[in-house]
Chains A and B, each alone.
Chain A
Amino acid sequence: MFGRRRKRECHRIREMFSPYLDDCLTSLERDAVQFHIEICEDCEWELRSLGATVQLLSRMPAASAPRSFTLAEAPSRRDWVPFALPGMKRLRLATTLAVVLLAILLAGDFSGLFHGDVIVEPPPEVADVAAPVDTAPEHQEGDIPVQQAEDPPGEIADWPPEATEPVDGRVTQRVEPGQEWDLPAEHPELPEAVAPLRKPYPWLRPLQIASAALLVILGGAHLLVWQRKRGLTLHKAS
């Protein structure tokens, strides 16, 4: 425990060695460094060796320019591409945020975090569904919606959707295309094992599409910047 704390302290103090050598520490920080190196031989050597390195570097002679670099004629300023475009930091930040947002939305979507239970109306009673029978009196069962008059007789016989016998613990039902319904929990024929239907929240898809579109736009902006920089590099190479 003590050793770990000591290592942390050594690390903290060593981070201050360069500012210490360059005299860029406050008096309190300077005292802390001096106090530490008096009791820590490793750090004392570290500081001494860094100081020697700085001294060696200061002995390096400056490389003098071998010729004049003055410009004989003024190059055109039109093809100048700034190294640091004004909004580059913001562009990077926005791209990162868009990536993170999209990742969160997709992860929430796939994991079901952003899915909610579907609120459904209770299934119509047999008598209610049978109301349109007047328009199709030939059906004796009287529980077929109007549009099913054109359905093949074989399928009509299967209406209404009912829970059939459980097969391997699952309940199968026939649901017509476009029909949205679910058996409520209190439905007498529904076994308790059937989970309620969950659908993504309505705001999820638009938000996913918006963030993906934003990402595409920002990616395009990055591509443009990259191309301009590449153009500059090619210009330099030529």
Chain B
Amino acid sequence: MPTYEEELIQQSKDGDLDSFNQLVERYQGQVYNLAMRMLGNRQDAEDATQEIFILSWKAIGSFRGGTFRTWIFRVAARFCTDEVRRRRGRQVDSLDAMFPEHNPLPSSAESPEDHLLREDLSQLISQHLLCLAEEQRLVVTLADLQGFTYEEIAQITNSSIGTVKSRLNRGRANLRDLLLKNRELLPPEFRLYK
């Protein structure tokens, strides 16, 4: 018996835009998050997310079953990687690049100081993530920020599990090295010394 998502996919294949828009609403946050981490720029991430869903609508006929989340992330990952490579030539220097996060107001559970520290840390990590090679950035984002398994990442990136493990290891190690260069900005428990 098909799940509700499978029904939506089938109706989308048949040309029902409303069904597809339900899928968009379900995955737009995750796709935008990936685009944000990959492109490091709010406006670019918005444009990319919109394009990814347009391309997904056009390509949904080629979806042959499996997990829709993995499939749509495959489209998103491919689009973002191509976009990063295309823009590699020109450096983006904008306020968005320097302050990539959308800063919501602090929740009632945390103090303004904690919120500020968390935002600083988030910006620091975001900036260093952008310094990684795009393959490593993609794998680290998918594994550590989006929670995909190695098998799913291998499907999304169209590579082997061994490659995923290797890229994740190198990506994490490179990110660690970058973060330790600004050790004083890290929370005390993460200021690791040998």
- Which A residues have a C-beta under 8 Å from some C-beta of B? 14-15, 17-19, 22, 24, 45-46, 48-50, 52-71, 73-77, 79-80, 82-84, 233, 236
Contact A57 B144 (CB under 8 A): yes
Say yes or no: is B73 at the interface (Cβ < 8 Å to chain A). Answer: no
Contact A65 B190 (CB under 8 A): no
Binding site secondary structure of chain A = loop
User: When the two chains form the complex, which single residue of A50, A74, A79 contacts B172, counting CB atoms closer than 8 Å?
Assistant: A50
Q: List 17 A-B contacts (CB under 8 A).
A: A19-B165, A45-B194, A50-B169, A50-B172, A52-B189, A54-B144, A56-B179, A56-B190, A57-B140, A57-B175, A60-B122, A66-B46, A71-B57, A75-B57, A77-B58, A77-B61, A80-B55
Contact residues in A for B29 (Cβ distance below 8 Å) = 62, 64-65
When A69-B49, A70-B25, A83-B75 are in contact, do A18 and B17 touch as well, CB less than 8 Å?
Answer: no
When A50-B173, A60-B122 are in contact, do A71 and B194 touch as well, CB less than 8 Å?
Answer: no
List the 9 shortest-distance A-B pairs measured between CB atoms, nearest first.
Answer: A80-B58, A57-B144, A70-B21, A65-B32, A53-B176, A18-B169, A63-B36, A69-B28, A83-B78
When A18-B165, A49-B176, A236-B51 are in contact, do A56 and B32 touch as well, CB less than 8 Å?
Answer: no
Say yes or no: is B168 at the interface (Cβ < 8 Å to chain A). Answer: yes
Say yes or no: is B59 at the interface (Cβ < 8 Å to chain A). Answer: yes
Contact B192 A15 (CB under 8 A): no
Contact B121 A15 (CB under 8 A): no
Contact A84 B46 (CB under 8 A): no
In the assembled complex, how far is the CB of residue B148 from the closest CB belonging to chain A, in whole angstroms?
Answer: 11
Contact B166 A15 (CB under 8 A): yes
Say yes or no: is B127 at the interface (Cβ < 8 Å to chain A). Answer: no
User: When the two chains form the complex, which single residue of B57, B61, B102 contacts A66, counting CB atoms closer than 8 Å?
Assistant: B102
A46 and B173 alpha carbons, distance in the complex (Å): 8
Contact B165 A53 (CB under 8 A): no
B contact residues, range? 35 or more
Q: Which residue of B lies closest to A70 (CB)?
A: B21
Contact A61 B150 (CB under 8 A): no
In the assembled complex, how far is the CB of residue A14 from the closest CB belonging to chain B, in whole angstroms?
Answer: 7
Q: Which residue of B lies closest to A67 (CB)?
A: B46
Contact residues in B for A60 (Cβ distance below 8 Å) = 122, 125-126, 145
A76 and B20 alpha carbons, distance in the complex (Å): 14
Contact A63 B101 (CB under 8 A): yes
A17 and B171 alpha carbons, distance in the complex (Å): 12
When A18-B165, A59-B118, A60-B122 are in contact, do A66 and B150 touch as well, CB less than 8 Å?
Answer: no
Contact residues in A for B21 (Cβ distance below 8 Å) = 70-71
Contact residues in A for B165 (Cβ distance below 8 Å) = 15, 18-19
A83 and B59 alpha carbons, distance in the complex (Å): 9
In the assembled complex, how far is the CB of residue B151 from the closest CB belonging to chain A, in whole angstroms?
Answer: 10
Q: Which residue of A lies closest to B43 (CB)?
A: A66
User: When the two chains form the complex, which single residue of B31, B57, B82 contacts A233, counting CB atoms closer than 8 Å?
Assistant: B82
Contact A57 B145 (CB under 8 A): yes
Contact B59 A82 (CB under 8 A): yes
User: When the two chains form the complex, which single residue of A22, A45, A48 contacts B150, counting CB atoms closer than 8 Å?
Assistant: A22
Q: Which residue of A lies closest to B147 (CB)?
A: A58
In the assembled complex, how far is the CB of residue A11 from the closest CB belonging to chain B, in whole angstroms?
Answer: 11
When A17-B169, A63-B33 are in contact, do A49 and B180 touch as well, CB less than 8 Å?
Answer: yes
Contact residues in B for A54 (Cβ distance below 8 Å) = 144, 172
